[in-house]
């Protein structure tokens, strides 16, 4: 666990007056009035964190964040951001500097910019994500500290900005720790850096913090009438403020007044609503105004529910033909961070015949979720409570809950997001059940319009009979589990396997698959060949067809991705090779097996 020395606490307290205010994540930042700080940032690699600690490991008040310059010829300053190299933000450092390919530690990044703040406006400094531990400084003063690598955060830096030239410096540390979320070991690349957008957001002193619109799943008593539920929250608890809501195509125009908590809500009745679905991903233009600022969004309306062992989209059964995806760029690796990256990956999924993707094992970029919505692809969204989390640590739980809260806040208006996932492959224990049960209840308290799930492990296996036993079944709406018959167990066992899921809930196989090197051919029992993977998929698809209540699958995985755990020279070379596409987008033979299976569903 990270230890904070007494001197650190005193030093932090001394900076309290200079610390900006962290404010709750602002909703739909892409529609706000923003100035982008993306682009070239200077960086300094700081292996021993000398820019933050003195030689006795006490935090120093003369660190790199001051961006100091010599004032006299004899002044000793042993760093200079302006002479340092640059890297692109958003981006990971591992693929931008060959010295940093395997690096885990501290890198300082600096961006200077001109800014002229509008009179009567406030400015938020917004980060889409920084992996993993970020200390943020504006003009040499501490703005805040954020922990967690995949969700947005923002600070009100109005009082810290100057008219003219300004500087933002971020100390980024991606070292792994047992109490982190994810924990110390995980099977993907630990890309360090400012991996998503950095924006200055201009808002009024009282602004629309976030909002939510969704289709009430309860059927209306009136024919062809649907009810849309709307709620909104200001950043301040101010009563009597007007929030204007317009949905022109539905002829909705409402003026709502906030209550004493700064919230407003309404239930809107509409006729002949066209519902969002993979076959018809209809979205409506929504306009929200407060004061002089207007926010525009495109929002789809649908319902998602379960009945017995079926998943119902808009009241009709649906089979989720899916694939798992990591947030890694096509054609060469690195952290994906753009709509173009997302479109390529999702287009590969569409070519496979998918109507659904599992965005594993952490919240993906907002561009990916929105592009999937536009393309008609349903989404499972997950937080990185992965493997052996520190279940007894309150700090770890609070970190996980914060990530869950921020994931939901960012994507709660995306019609394609149908499942919030709270964990992956976690070992059973009373502490784990308490931790995950609490997360499930929290997710449901924030959003009861979607399904809750998690990727479980099958632990009740006996010879060729597998019985799912997991205390978390009472908390989830959909029972999901990972199985690797054919990879971690002989593929010839697949025809003999039987599965028992003793819960009256839909079943999703959240992972199955095996590895192959694209272009390597041989007999079907020769590991790493395309024929081995092809046969594994053929046998698994036939086996899964026998599972009662099977409502979907997300095989592992769309494309090969980097992992430091995969060290077999000449085959893996630090790639997990379980993709049905290569990293270059080349289809392996298993692709065609899965595509044909989905065509029959």
Rg (CA), the chain: 25
| Cα 293–chain centre separation | 28
Contact (CB, 8 A) for 372 and 342: yes
> Which of 187-191, 220-224, 318-322 has the weakest average pLDDT?
220-224
For the stretch 269-280, pLDDT in tens is: 999 999 999 999
Average pLDDT over residues 381-389: 97
Give Dmax (Cα) for the chain.
83
- Please state, as a whole number, how many other Cβ atoms lie within 10 Å of the Cβ of residue 599: 9
**Residue 333 confidence (pLDDT):** 76
- Picking from 561, 542, 601, 537, the residue whose alpha carbon sits closest to that of residue 354 is 601
Buried-exposed string 552-590: b where 16+ CB fall within 10 A, e elsewhere: bbbbbbbbbbbbeebeeeeebebbbbbbbbbbeeebbbb
pLDDT digits (tens, 9 = 90+) for 548-597: 999 999 999 999 999 999 999 999 999 999 999 999 999 999 999 999 99
Nearest to 336 by CA among 185, 199, 191, 182: 191
Average pLDDT over residues 281-307: 96
Distance CA(485)–CA(490), nearest Å, equals 7
SS (H, E, C) 485-496: ECCCECHHHHHH
Distance CA 111, CA 89 (A): 10
pTM of this prediction?
Answer: 0.94
Q: Where are the beta strands (DSSP E) in 300-433?
A: 304-307, 310-313, 316-317, 320-325, 356-359, 378-382, 417-424
| Residue 506, CB-side half-sphere exposure with 13 Å CA sphere | 24
pLDDT score, position 6: 34
pLDDT score at 461:
64
CA gap 264, 256 in Å, rounded: 6
pLDDT for the residue 462: 72
d(CA 590, CA 592): 5
pLDDT at 19: 57
Residues 94 and 131: their CA atoms lie apart, in Å, by 12
Residue 257 structure tokens: 């007044």
Quote the CA–CA distance of 389 and 184 in Å, as a whole number.
9
Give the DSSP H/E element, type plus range, for residue 464.
none
Q: Residue 100: name the closest of 83, 87, 84, 81 by CA.
A: 87
Q: What is the mean pLDDT of residues 154-167?
A: 96
Nearest to 131 by CA among 187, 170, 84: 170
The mean pLDDT of 75-84, rounded to a whole number, is: 95
Q: Give the pLDDT of residue 117.
A: 87
pLDDT at 235 over 90: yes
pLDDT of res. 460? 62
Q: Give the other-Cβ count within 10 Å of 1's Cβ.
A: 10
Q: Which helix (H) or strand (E) element contains residue 542? A: helix 530-544
The per-residue pLDDT for range 236-281, each reduced to its tens digit, is 999 999 999 999 999 999 999 999 999 999 999 999 999 999 999 9
Task: For the beta carbon of residue 31, count every other beta carbon within 10 angstroms.
Answer: 16
Could you give the CA distance from residue 133 to residue 194 in angstroms, rounded to a whole number? 10
pLDDT of 492 reads 86
Residues 436-445: contacts with CB under 8 Å, at least 24 apart? 436/385, 436/472, 436/475, 437/472, 437/475, 438/397, 438/401, 439/385, 439/397, 439/400, 439/401, 439/404, 440/472, 440/475, 440/476, 441/475, 442/401, 442/404, 442/405, 443/404, 443/408
Per-residue pLDDT tens digits for 25-59:
999 999 999 999 999 999 999 999 999 998 888 88
- Residue-range domains of the chain with CATH: 6-203 (2.60.120.260), 218-302 (2.60.40.10), 306-599 (3.20.20.80)
pLDDT (tens digit per residue) in 486-499: 998 888 889 999 99
């Amino acid at each position: 666990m990270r230890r904070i020395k007494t001197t650190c606490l005193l030093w932090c307290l001394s900076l309290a007056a200079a610390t900006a205010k962290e404010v709750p994540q602002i909703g739909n930042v892409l529609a706000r009035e923003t100035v982008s700080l993306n682009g070239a940032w200077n960086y300094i690699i700081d292996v021993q964190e000398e820019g933050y600690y003195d030689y006795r490991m006490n935090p120093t008040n003369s660190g790199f964040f001051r961006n100091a310059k010599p004032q006299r010829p004899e002044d000793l300053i042993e760093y200079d951001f302006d002479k340092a190299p640059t890297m692109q933000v958003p981006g990971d450092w591992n693929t931008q500097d060959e010295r940093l390919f395997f690096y885990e530690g501290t890198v300082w990044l600096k961006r200077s910019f001109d800014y002229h703040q509008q009179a009567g406006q406030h400015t938020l400094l917004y980060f889409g994500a920084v992996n993993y531990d970020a200390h943020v400084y504006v003009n040499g003063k501490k703005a805040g500290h954020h922990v967690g690598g995949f969700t947005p955060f923002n600070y009100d830096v109005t009082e810290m900005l100057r008219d003219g030239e300004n500087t933002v410096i971020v100390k980024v540390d991606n070292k792994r720790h047992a109490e982190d979320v994810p924990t110390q070991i995980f099977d993907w690349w630990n890309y360090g850096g400012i991996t998503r957008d950095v924006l200055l957001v201009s808002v009024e002193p009282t602004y629309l913090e976030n909002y939510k619109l969704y289709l009430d799943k309860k059927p209306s008593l009136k024919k062809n009438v649907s009810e849309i539920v709307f709620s909104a929250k200001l950043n301040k608890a101010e009563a009597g403020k007007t929030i204007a809501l317009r949905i022109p195509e539905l002829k909705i125009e409402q003026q709502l007044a906030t209550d004493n908590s700064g919230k407003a809500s309404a239930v809107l009745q509409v006729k002949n609503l066209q519902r969002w679905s993979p076959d018809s991903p209809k979205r409506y233009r929504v306009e929200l105004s407060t004061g002089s600022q207007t926010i525009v969004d495109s929002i789809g309306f649908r319902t998602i529910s379960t009945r017995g062992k079926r998943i119902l989209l808009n009241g009709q059964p649906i089979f989720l033909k899916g694939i798992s995806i990591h947030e890694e760029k096509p054609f060469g690796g690195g952290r994906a961070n753009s709509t173009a990256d997302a479109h390529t990956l999702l287009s590969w999924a569409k070519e496979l015949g998918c109507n659904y993707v599992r965005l594993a094992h952490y919240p993906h970029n907002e561009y990916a979720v929105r592009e999937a919505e536009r393309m008609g692809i349903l989404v499972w969204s997950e937080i990185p409570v992965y493997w052996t989390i520190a279940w007894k640590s309150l700090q770890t739980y609070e970190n996980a809950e914060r990530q869950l809260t921020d994931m939901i806040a960012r994507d709660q208006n995306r019609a394609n997001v149908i499942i919030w996932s709270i964990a992956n492959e976690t070992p059973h224990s009373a502490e784990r059940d308490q931790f995950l049960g609490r997360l499930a209840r929290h997710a449901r308290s924030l959003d009861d319009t979607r399904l809750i799930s998690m990727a479980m492990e099958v632990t009740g296996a006996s010879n060729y009979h597998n019985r799912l036993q997991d205390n978390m079944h009472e908390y989830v709406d959909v029972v999901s589990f990972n199985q690797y018959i054919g990879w971690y167990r002989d593929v010839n066992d697949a025809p003999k396997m039987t599965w028992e899921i003793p819960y009256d809930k839909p079943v999703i196989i959240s992972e199955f698959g095996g590895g192959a090197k694209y272009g390597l051919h041989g007999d079907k029992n020769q590991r790493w060949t395309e024929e081995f993977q092809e046969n594994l998929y053929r046998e698994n698809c036939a086996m899964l067809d026998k599972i009662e209540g099977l409502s979907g699958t997300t095989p592992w995985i769309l494309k090969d991705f980097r992992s430091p755990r995969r060290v077999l020279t000449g085959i893996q070379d630090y790639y997990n090779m379980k993709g049905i596409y290569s990293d270059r987008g080349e289809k392996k033979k298993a692709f065609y097996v899965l595509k044909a299976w989905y065509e029959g569903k």
